[in-house]
Chain A
Amino acid sequence: MAAPARAQTRRFGNKVKDAGLAYLFLLPALIVFSVFSYYPLYRLFWYATHTQSRFRNKPASYVGLNQIKASLTSNDFISGLTHSGLYMLYTVPLGLLLGVMLAVSTHRRLKGIKVFQTIFSSTVASSVAVASVVFITLVNPEIGYFKNVPWLSLRNPSTALFAVSLSSVWQNLGLTFIVVLAALQTVPDELIEAATLDGYGAIRRFWRITVPLISPALLFLGIVLVVSALQAFAQIEILTGGGPGGATETLLFKIADPRGIRPLGVRASYSLGLFVLTAVVAGAQYSIMSKRVHYGD
């Protein structure tokens, strides 16, 4: 039976050709990931397992996992972790809630509603630096509009982190607003009308029908906001520089270490900690919420 054998060879040949083509298409992404993700991750691990003198006049020496262990159990790391955690708690739920509220309030057919939609989404178009400068001016203790609001003070260690968080909430509001508004607009009017006829009041209708239908957008925003909270740097650097007394030094701020206080090996160890933390939080969020998230039909 020569013919089937030949056909089989041809099929095998085609498979090899298809696979080759597939890898060819994957190659650009693979190169980008290697250069910007995999190699840096490897270097990070290398730095975390070596100590180096500050002036780099001696070669780095291998210390194994000891440096990582010491760094990740230090008080400095724990305080960074605490600040990052608080920052996340202050920014994510509040930001999500405000974004949803604004989106719901402008999701209606009204004359001039576009003006409000534009205003609410405007923070998307302003950079972190600009927004932070605006905020720092607003809370300036001499001339600021909010100079007499004690819980917005950037100079009090017990309020500084919350004040910085509020500035972040405000900066992220545009994104949250736009994404939620877009999600609301995909909910068919007829579904809301059907729910109205079924007898749901406005609030239960929102929780029972609207929220499940926009849940993919909420999951997306939840993850984006958590990651951006864990990676916040510019606003902290501009508003407080990590102060007062290290009260706003989040984990990432300690890693970036603009004052150059910590050795490279310690910061690399912190980075590994943050990497694991981000992965765990995002993973947990995804697995918890994806059970309740509904992706169309």
Chain B
Amino acid sequence: MSAVAFDQVTKKFGDTVAVDEFSLQIADGEFMVLLGPSGCGKSTALRMIAGLEEISSGILTIGERVVNHIPPRERDIAMVFQSYALYPHMSVEKNIESPLVANKRAKVDPIERLRRVHEAAETLGLTEYLARKPGELSGGQRQRVALARAIVRRPEVFLMDEPLSNLDAKLRTQTRLELVDLHRRLGTTFVYVTHDQVEAMTMADRIAVISEGRIQQVGAPQDVYERPANLFVASFIGSPPMNTIEGKLQGATESAPPAVLTAEGSISIGHPGSAVTGSELVLGIRPEHLHVTDPVDTPNALRGTIQNIELLGHERHVVCSVGTTLMTVRQPNDAPPVAIGQAISLQADPSGVHLFDPTSTDRLN
């Protein structure tokens, strides 16, 4: 087991900066998810840990060792690829065994090797498929073989590059649980790359949200969800995404709490944080913190019209136009009925209102 640490690590491909001064401490035994849209540099960061990409500048440490110039096979890591990268000409058994025979320096004697292969196969329910070729397996089974090949070497760190994206939705949910279970049993450091926020939220001890080669925020899933550090994180995490609207801060008076005045009404907020009275800012409100009320003279509400209602069975999403922006309200099914075209007011829980600086996009409260 080992910790992994990025210290101002940068990766450039020609003039393109793929990873920009990355600093991140991944604790020993932690399940860290690198989350971001495609092309944000998360895979490049993972590949630098693996040693598949050279580091342009900065220091990368695994355990106590600086690994910048250590070849992949001496790093004691295992990686699961998106395509699984199984050797098509080898049986499942040979595939799983491969890391134990490939590395001459870390060679394992044949009896121990057989024991470990069978142990790994058993852990992942592959015992009956050992003699088959990868081509004769389903996507889910191939994925397990890739996992077995990773755990058989008992590495310091597991690296996973979108390992679930080639599975169908049902299998993905199931494998998610299995991965969490595997992590719990092995207690090894996992670094997991994905663009899927659900995977990140459900599996991670901590999430590092990445955009354009930079780390936007690192934190526990719930913290990242509840206190997004900037507008990118706020809109990337959460489904449906956080509603945003521009406004101007009004300070508290004796009779009223602080509020933000927008073109379509005002919204009460909690503590304004570092926001200055009278300044322009961007309001962010998650769909579950918005409430539909009657339009008759509700103070501190936004005026809107219902555009669409999405029924999801267990809840419904009411999409309203507020001026030129669309805002989504998440409602339980037993909420009072609403109709498309209806004029409504929207109120927010003051504690659920996030304030962002319109230029730096950073969080203010």
Q: Mark B215-239, 1 if CB is under 8 A from A, else 0.
A: 0000000000000000000000000
Task: Establish whether residues A193 and B73, one from each chain, have CB atoms under 8 Å apart when the complex forms.
Answer: no
Does A204 make an interface contact (CB < 8 A)?
A: yes
Does A197 make an interface contact (CB < 8 A)?
A: yes
Contacting residues, chain B, for A294 (C-beta < 8 A): 88-89
A window 243-297: CB within 8 A of B:
294, 296-297
- How many Å lie between the Cα of A207 and that of B98 in the bound state? 14
Q: Quick one: which of A199, A201, A212 contacts B89, CB cutoff 8 A?
A: A212
Does A191 make an interface contact (CB < 8 A)?
A: yes
B window 23-59: CB within 8 A of A:
50-52
B window 92-117: CB within 8 A of A:
98-99, 102-106
Task: Establish whether residues A199 and B88, one from each chain, have CB atoms under 8 Å apart when the complex forms.
Answer: no
Number of residues in A with C-beta < 8 Å to the partner? 20
Task: Establish whether residues A191 and B78, one from each chain, have CB atoms under 8 Å apart when the complex forms.
Answer: no
A window 73-92: CB within 8 A of B:
none
Most chain A CB within 10 A, of B82, B89, B99, B103, is at B89
Contacting residues, chain A, for B79 (C-beta < 8 A): 193-194, 197
Does B350 make an interface contact (CB < 8 A)?
A: no
- How many Å lie between the Cα of A203 and that of B259 in the bound state? 69
Task: Establish whether residues B102 and A198, one from each chain, have CB atoms under 8 Å apart when the complex forms.
Answer: yes
Task: Establish whether residues A193 and B81, one from each chain, have CB atoms under 8 Å apart when the complex forms.
Answer: yes
Task: Establish whether residues A296 and B106, one from each chain, have CB atoms under 8 Å apart when the complex forms.
Answer: no
- How many Å lie between the Cα of A209 and that of B85 in the bound state? 11
Contacting residues, chain B, for A199 (C-beta < 8 A): 73, 99, 102-106
Contacting residues, chain B, for A213 (C-beta < 8 A): 88-89
- How many Å lie between the Cα of A212 and that of B135 in the bound state? 15
Does A46 make an interface contact (CB < 8 A)?
A: no
Most chain A CB within 10 A, of B79, B102, B106, B149, is at B102
Task: Establish whether residues A194 and B134, one from each chain, have CB atoms under 8 Å apart when the complex forms.
Answer: no
Number of A-B contacts (CB under 8 A): 66
Task: Establish whether residues A197 and B133, one from each chain, have CB atoms under 8 Å apart when the complex forms.
Answer: no
Task: Establish whether residues A197 and B87, one from each chain, have CB atoms under 8 Å apart when the complex forms.
Answer: no
Q: A190-B83, A209-B87, A213-B88 are in contact. Are A197 and B135 (CB under 8 A)?
A: no
Contacting residues, chain B, for A200 (C-beta < 8 A): 73, 102-103
Contacting residues, chain B, for A209 (C-beta < 8 A): 87
Contacting residues, chain A, for B98 (C-beta < 8 A): 195, 198
Task: Establish whether residues A188 and B85, one from each chain, have CB atoms under 8 Å apart when the complex forms.
Answer: yes
Task: Establish whether residues A297 and B73, one from each chain, have CB atoms under 8 Å apart when the complex forms.
Answer: no
Contacting residues, chain A, for B73 (C-beta < 8 A): 196-200
Contacting residues, chain B, for A194 (C-beta < 8 A): 79, 81, 85-87
Question: Chain B contact residues (Cβ within 8 angstroms of A): what range?
Answer: 20 to 34
Task: Establish whether residues A198 and B103, one from each chain, have CB atoms under 8 Å apart when the complex forms.
Answer: yes
- How many Å lie between the Cα of A193 and that of B50 in the bound state? 10
Does B301 make an interface contact (CB < 8 A)?
A: no
Expressed in whole angstroms, the minimum distance between the Cβ of A284 and any Cβ of chain B is: 22
- How many Å lie between the Cα of A194 and that of B134 in the bound state? 15
Does B323 make an interface contact (CB < 8 A)?
A: no
Expressed in whole angstroms, the minimum distance between the Cβ of A189 and any Cβ of chain B is: 9
Give the nearest-CB partner of A213 in chain B: B89
Q: A213-B88, A296-B88, A297-B135 are in contact. Are A193 and B102 (CB under 8 A)?
A: no
Does B77 make an interface contact (CB < 8 A)?
A: yes
Q: Quick one: which of B78, B83, B102, B105 contacts A195, CB cutoff 8 A?
A: B102
Q: A197-B50, A198-B103 are in contact. Are A190 and B89 (CB under 8 A)?
A: no
Give the nearest-CB partner of A215 in chain B: B89
Task: Establish whether residues A197 and B89, one from each chain, have CB atoms under 8 Å apart when the complex forms.
Answer: no
- How many Å lie between the Cα of A201 and that of B99 in the bound state? 12
- How many Å lie between the Cα of A6 and that of B102 in the bound state? 66
Does B240 make an interface contact (CB < 8 A)?
A: no
- How many Å lie between the Cα of A294 and that of B88 in the bound state? 8
Does B241 make an interface contact (CB < 8 A)?
A: no
Task: Establish whether residues A196 and B133, one from each chain, have CB atoms under 8 Å apart when the complex forms.
Answer: no
Task: Establish whether residues A196 and B87, one from each chain, have CB atoms under 8 Å apart when the complex forms.
Answer: no
Contacting residues, chain B, for A191 (C-beta < 8 A): 85, 87
Q: Mark A170-207, 1 if CB is under 8 A from B, else 0.
A: 00000000000000000010110111111111001000
Give the nearest-CB partner of A191 in chain B: B85
Footprint of A on B, CB under 8 Å? 50-52, 72-73, 77-79, 81-83, 85-89, 98-99, 102-106, 133-136, 149
* Known A197-B99, A198-B98, A212-B87; 10 more pairs at CB < 8 Å: A193-B52, A193-B81, A196-B73, A197-B77, A199-B102, A294-B89, A296-B88, A296-B135, A297-B88, A297-B133
- Leading 5 A-B pairs by shortest Cβ distance: A297-B135, A199-B103, A294-B89, A194-B85, A199-B73
Can you list 27 A-B contacts with CB-CB less than 8 angstroms, sorted by A residue number? A188-B85, A190-B81, A190-B83, A190-B85, A191-B87, A193-B52, A193-B79, A194-B79, A194-B86, A194-B87, A195-B87, A195-B98, A195-B102, A196-B52, A196-B73, A197-B52, A197-B77, A198-B103, A199-B102, A200-B73, A200-B102, A208-B102, A209-B87, A212-B87, A294-B89, A296-B88, A297-B134
